[in-house]
Structure 1
Amino acid sequence: MSLDERFNKAAEDVKGLTKRPTDQQLLDLYGLFKQATVGDNETSKPGLLDLKGRAKWEAWNGRKGTSQEDAKEQYVSFASSLLQEYA
């Protein structure tokens, strides 16, 4: 299977988790997904009152400089560990 195929499968598989991962795990998953699909975060930082948007922005922005291929590999690996823990 190619990297893109493994990435897409992992993205689908995590939607079927039977238990909810921790907030930090979900933020890590989000940051890796955005870095893998979009690349570096070039959006403006959300305001102080948008706590959820700010946390997601920081999770993505923390991955800046990671190539999309590396982010996909990390996403597949992280998703696999979540599937073992929460499936």
Structure 2
Amino acid sequence: MEITNLEDAAALTKKFTSRPSNEELLKLYGLYKQATEGDNETERPGGFDFKAAAKFNAWLNFKGKSKSDASDEYISLVEELSTKYL
């Protein structure tokens, strides 16, 4: 399946018939945020909000990656995951 842009890739993830692993979901989240907003400049969430902290760290993993590269990597990951979850 050939995906040409970030929006199509994001839409495709909503059609997955089963849920990707937490690790895969966090990588998708981090790449999407990097592709759409750039480096994570937000404040680190509180210590007991584990979900928010995991998402914050997932985005932080891609610090310094260009929006274009993050977008390309996100699209590639969605294409890969679609073979498992569609």
Which TM bucket (shorter chain)? over 0.9
Aligned residue pairs: how many? Answer: 84
What is the distance in 2 between the residues matched to 1:61 and 1:6? Answer: 23
Amino acid at match of 2:45: P
Amino acid at match of 1:37: T
Amino acid at match of 2:37: V
Residue 77 of structure 1 corresponds to 76
The answer to whether 1:21 aligns with 2:17 is no
TM-score norm. by structure 2 comes to: 0.94
Amino acid at match of 1:33: Y
SS for the counterpart of 1:16 is coil
Aligned-residue Cα RMSD (Å) equals 1.2
What is the distance in 2 between the residues matched to 1:6 and 1:80? Answer: 11
The answer to whether 1:60 aligns with 2:64 is no
Amino acid at match of 2:16: L
Percent identical across equivalent pairs? Answer: 45
Amino acid at match of 1:47: G
> 1:8, CA displacement in angstroms?
1.1
Question: Structure 2 unaligned runs (5+)?
Answer: none
**Which consecutive aligned stretches of 4+ in structure 1 deviate over 6 angstroms post-superposition?**
none
What is the distance in 2 between the residues matched to 1:16 and 1:42? Answer: 31
1:46-84 deviation line (CA, Å, top 9, x unaligned): 111000000000000110000000000000000001101
TM-score norm. by structure 1 comes to: 0.93
